[in-house]
Amino acid sequence: MTTDTDTSKTALNAPQGDVSWMRQAFEQVQSNLAATMKLASQSISHGGVMGSVNEEHWADLFRKYLPNRYDVATGIVIDSRGNRSEQIDLVIFDRHFTPTLLDQKSHRYIPAEAVYAVFECKPTINKDYLDYAEKKAASVRAMHRTSVTIAHAGGTYEPKPHFRILAGILAPDVSWADGLGEAFERNLSADPDAMLDCGVALDRGCFDRYEGVLSIANEQGALMYFLFRLLARLQSLGTVPAIDWAAYSRIIRP
């Protein structure tokens, strides 16, 4: 078993320009997460409990690698018109400008304006789970989002246009024999409202459609490739729009 100490020694002894030690460390992150999820599937008999445990493993991974401007939680996305999405396994949202609402322990209502991305965490990737994740994505993208001007020392910035909320699926494996191959591609929705932008199957690789075409990485260490690609995409979105709190206040006093 490779330890952090072993990886550090390898890095110190590696010649300049040698990235193999870094690649091995990234591969170990993936192997460790896969082993942790396998242990959960073998030791937890209740499907719902196992699902919640694995959601937390994914959430912990995101929290470890995402900058502090982002938060990650399970929750329901809401808007100023009283609409609610379905329960979302993992929501990546702004933690700097927009508070969550009506929190009850780990359960959160997250304003739609704060959402960057939503993910479903499943035991595998197959047609049914793809359809399920796509419906969840559509339910979030249908939310009404406000945007108001932002005051600054020299005046105001115009309301920021809304970016398209990212959506994805996370799983230990894929059910199709060819992994993220032809069968997987056939079952991906092309509907922009429901379309999944990215996903990862720990034992088979990852995919994304950030550039408008399907890109699949099957190499060992694809988990970190997925995370770096997600980070770059989140970075390109910038900050979330400024929420119109007056619109939410009208819920209390129309």
- Which residues are annotated as catalytic? 89, 120, 122
CB burial of 4-41 (b: ≥16 within 10 Å; e: otherwise) equals eeeeeebeeeeeeeeeebeebbbbbbbbebeeebeebe
Strand duo 107-111 + 70-78: pairing: parallel
Which ranges of 73-221 would DSSP assign to H, the alpha helix? Answer: 127-141, 182-186
Q: How far is CA 219 from CA 24, 134, 169, 182, in A?
A: 12, 26, 18, 18
Query: Which residues are registered as beta bridge partners of 199?
Result: 169, 207
Task: At 221, list the tokens.
Answer: 């260490």
Question: Positive or negative, the Cα torsion across 215, 185, 112, 94?
Answer: negative
Round to whole Å and give the CA distance between 107 and 89: 11
Q: How far is CA 183 from CA 85, 91, 126, 194, in A?
A: 29, 28, 9, 19
Identify the H or E element spanning 94: strand 84-94
Identify the H or E element spanning 29: helix 20-43
Please check whether residue 110 is in contact with residue 76, taking contact to mean a CB–CB distance below 8 angstroms: yes
